[in-house]
Structure 1
């Protein structure tokens, strides 16, 4: 099933999605029809400039959501939280899907609404995600700071095109889990949710506030598609370190532009992003208990196991052997 819409600031996703699937909305609740699957979508408005939708369902067919640019410039910030273990396909500019949300690489996207994107949710898997929509002036008032770094200035400014990804911390995952368990029929649930969603925003924007304070470049759909493709290349074979020149050729960008845009979008250099992904894969394999430390190290491309242990301990605070038993 494909649902396509234009991302204007006043677009009501739930109302139009309900029409698309032949369902009704009652008290900001959409129940998924039985022919399509099971579950629901809830919407909470905290005012005209701040709202959330909570998606919890299992569908009998893949769901493809295509968000088309409004053509009106950036007048809305969208923050997308997805913490499922099932892979999530994301694409920009009608490019092939790139897989997210495997292992610790959960997808948090912060994007302007002048970028088009496509997200594919797999059938027959429980899908839980939340979308926060907030207008730049309202977010700026919430942040209440005149010392924002360049990343937050770009997000809260007017007319800026941006795309940022962040890894989901354990604290963020726990908060999302608690939010999904709230009884929205409770009289004070709306009040509670507003407080907790602001806490969620604090966690993500605090992370973004620690990024390097460097000039931010505008990003378009073609740039976004190239960056996702490069990310896919980086993690495709974690035993082989990325080569900047080769990646720049694939992206059809100069090495300087690729380095700048990648770090801007993902908050890490290309090599550090690769190293983080490599250590997360190593941690996953060690926790499975099916591989020795030596096997994991060699699989991750380390010829020197002492070097592997030092790098791993730098990331996790324990050497691989102790980590596998922790």
Structure 2
């Protein structure tokens, strides 16, 4: 992947000048201390910053792009006390983790999900020339996160998020996260708006920590940046056509991996084995097709390669605890 440096706006997070003030200057926007607004040939956009809590900070971003833009976030190299969670709700913006092997986390035809990182490498937000997009960011102080988690897996999660080595994880959306994200972007202007947004953010944090707990710190610590990049390539390979069930032998041949390394590295990076990850993404796509796109149960079943409606309905119910029909009915009532 080649990036044109002349077309990148660079944000220095080690600068004394806050990120929104830097971006406002670069794109000729206005920042009033809480909201950054842009309305020019680049985009019509808003960044809303929630900084009332020192240890948990939030950013809600909405933009109608009018030209192709790249914004690079250069990290704090000496000490970084925060964990970053970024999730693309809508649109085709690409988040590029700029390491030795540039990793495209979000982007056209890629799965929605949560990117979790300690941001030891630069992150580039690359927009298309036109189109609407929304994304949400949570910054949480590591010590606060560690204080809030508990249970048998606390030490594993603590070791993972406390590591000073660069790390990047990805979790596909689940129903709880999608629901919380929808509420964050739809809360009306009322007295308790900020409280509700922070409340839904804590739900997303809780779900993410539960998912991180499925990893073993001993395995994640062995992942090199190259290993991480290769596992993201495997992820794209197995999810490019969700009607085709992944085959471990074919994946090993395609990427020159041993079976044991594929199994270990994939679970370390994504928290679950290859087939379970594929099934999760497949079921989330089924929900999107039914609820967001309005496709019929038959159409979804055929599109995702199920051998009959009963097979699809059983798989859907096993995953969500309800039938496809019930999911659609509940979603309709919530609108």
Normalising to structure 1: TM-score of the pair? 0.77
Specify whether residues 3 and 107 from structure 1 end up closer, same or farther in structure 2 by C-alpha distance, changes over 3 A only. Answer: farther
Please give the alpha-carbon distance, in whole angstroms, between the structure 2 residues aligned to 1:131 and 1:71. 20
Give CA deviations for 1:85-119 in whole Å, capped at 9, x if unaligned.
Answer: x344333335474655879x432111111134333
Aligned equivalent of 2:270: 266
Aligned equivalent of 1:223: 227
Aligned equivalent of 1:62: 68
Aligned equivalent of 2:248: 244
- Which runs of 5 or more residues in structure 1 are unaligned? none
Alignment equivalent of 1:163, drawn from 162, 165, 168 = 168
Alignment equivalent of 1:121, drawn from 108, 118, 127 = 127
**Contact 1:111/1:162 (<8 A) preserved:** yes
Alignment equivalent of 1:135, drawn from 125, 141, 148 = 141
Q: Does 1:173 align with 2:178?
A: yes
Specify whether residues 170 and 215 from structure 1 end up closer, same or farther in structure 2 by C-alpha distance, changes over 3 A only. Answer: same
Please give the alpha-carbon distance, in whole angstroms, between the structure 2 residues aligned to 1:180 and 1:290. 24
SS in 1 for 2:220: coil
Larger relative contact order (C-alpha < 8 A, sep ≥ 6)?
Answer: 1
Cα drift, residue 278 of structure 1: 3.5
- Which runs of 5 or more residues in structure 2 are unaligned? 1-6, 330-335
Alignment equivalent of 2:35, drawn from 29, 32, 43 = 29
RMSD: 3.9
**Contact 2:176/2:204 (<8 A) preserved:** no
Please give the alpha-carbon distance, in whole angstroms, between the structure 2 residues aligned to 1:195 and 1:285. 28
SS in 1 for 2:251: helix
Specify whether residues 201 and 284 from structure 1 end up closer, same or farther in structure 2 by C-alpha distance, changes over 3 A only. Answer: closer
Normalising to structure 2: TM-score of the pair? 0.75
Cα drift, residue 21 of structure 1: 0.7
SS in 2 for 1:32: strand
Cα drift, residue 304 of structure 1: 7.1
SS in 2 for 1:27: coil
Aligned equivalent of 1:278: 282
Specify whether residues 101 and 110 from structure 1 end up closer, same or farther in structure 2 by C-alpha distance, changes over 3 A only. Answer: farther
Specify whether residues 26 and 148 from structure 1 end up closer, same or farther in structure 2 by C-alpha distance, changes over 3 A only. Answer: same
Moved over 6 A (4+): 286-292
Please give the alpha-carbon distance, in whole angstroms, between the structure 1 residues aligned to 2:64 and 2:253. 40
**Contact 2:172/2:281 (<8 A) preserved:** no
Equivalent residues in 2 for 1:10-159, closer than 5 Å: 12-72=18-78, 74-84=80-90, 86-92=91-97, 93=99, 95=102, 97=104, 99=106, 105-143=111-149, 145=150, 147-149=152-154, 151-159=156-164
Cα drift, residue 79 of structure 1: 0.9
**Number of residue pairs the alignment of both structures matches:** 319
